[in-house]
Amino acid sequence: MLIEGKDLTARQRKLVLQAFVHRHTVESPWGAWALAAAGAGAPRASTDEEFILSHAFYFVKDGSRLAAKPNHCEPVYLAD
């Protein structure tokens, strides 16, 4: 099932941040490195909060863990 970022529990948020390590946010080590490597022309980095609120995530039916497939997230407007 697809759950909007604003509806995630604290545990679900933790699972999302652990699973999506290649997000382009200032809190993500990979995202910060990638933006620094891009130089001055890089787009503005978002925060983890902005990332979560702007996406929807696939969880198993009971919401206990992320769904194995699909292994990606969607823009929040697709969750409606």
pLDDT digits (tens, 9 = 90+) for 1-49: 999 999 999 999 999 999 988 887 888 877 666 666 666 666 666 889 9
Q: Torsion-angle region of residue 62: left (phi > 0), alpha (psi -120 to 50) or beta?
A: alpha
Query: What local confidence, expressed as pLDDT, does residue 58 receive?
Result: 94
Global pTM value? 0.82
Q: Using CA atoms, how far apart are residues 74 and 65, in angstroms rounded to an integer?
A: 17
Chain centroid to Cα 78, Å, comes to 15
